[in-house]
Amino acid sequence: MPSASKFSRLPDAAARPVTITFEGAEVAAREGDSVAAALLAQGITTTRATPVSGAPRGPFCMMGVCFECLVEIDGEANRQACMVAVREGMAVRPMHGARAPGAESGDD
Ligand code: FES
């Protein structure tokens, strides 16, 4: 799952650390990170599998347009990881399968 990240963080001594989980594994994040940014910073690039072929997908546009970053957050499916800010203890899981018709993505 995690691999060497292609993303590096700028130093920010004022940033408060936040811990979330992805598939049960702890992921270090910073207050103000989107879920997608936190995952990418830790080398987690796959957040869902396509419903037809099962091909891996991950955050791409980082601005709520492509829907490639869909994840389950605290039991709520079809959340856009790039549009939700991390919160201490947040439980994130990858999405598998089709998005339910009419499902809202939510935008915290
Ligand atoms: S990365 Fe494109 S919608 Fe989230």
Q: What pLDDT, on the 0 to 100 scale, is given for residue 96? A: 82
| Pocket residue to mutate for ligand 1, from 78, 79, 80, most atoms within 8 A of Cβ | 80
Ligand 1: list residues with CB < 6 Å.
Answer: 36, 59-62, 64-69, 80, 82
pLDDT tens column, 35-74: 999 999 999 999 999 988 999 999 999 999 999 999 999 9
Amino acid letter for position 100: A
Average pLDDT rounded to a whole number, residues 7-23: 90
For the chain, helix, strand, coil in percent to 5 are 10, 30, 60
User: What separation in Å is there between the alpha carbon of 55 and the centre of ligand 1?
Assistant: 16
pLDDT tens column, 78-98: 999 999 999 999 999 999 877
In this prediction the pTM is: 0.85
Q: What pLDDT, on the 0 to 100 scale, is given for residue 8? A: 81
Q: Hey, what's the torsion of the CAs at 57, 18, 14, 82, to 10 degrees?
A: 30
User: What separation in Å is there between the alpha carbon of 50 and the centre of ligand 1?
Assistant: 14
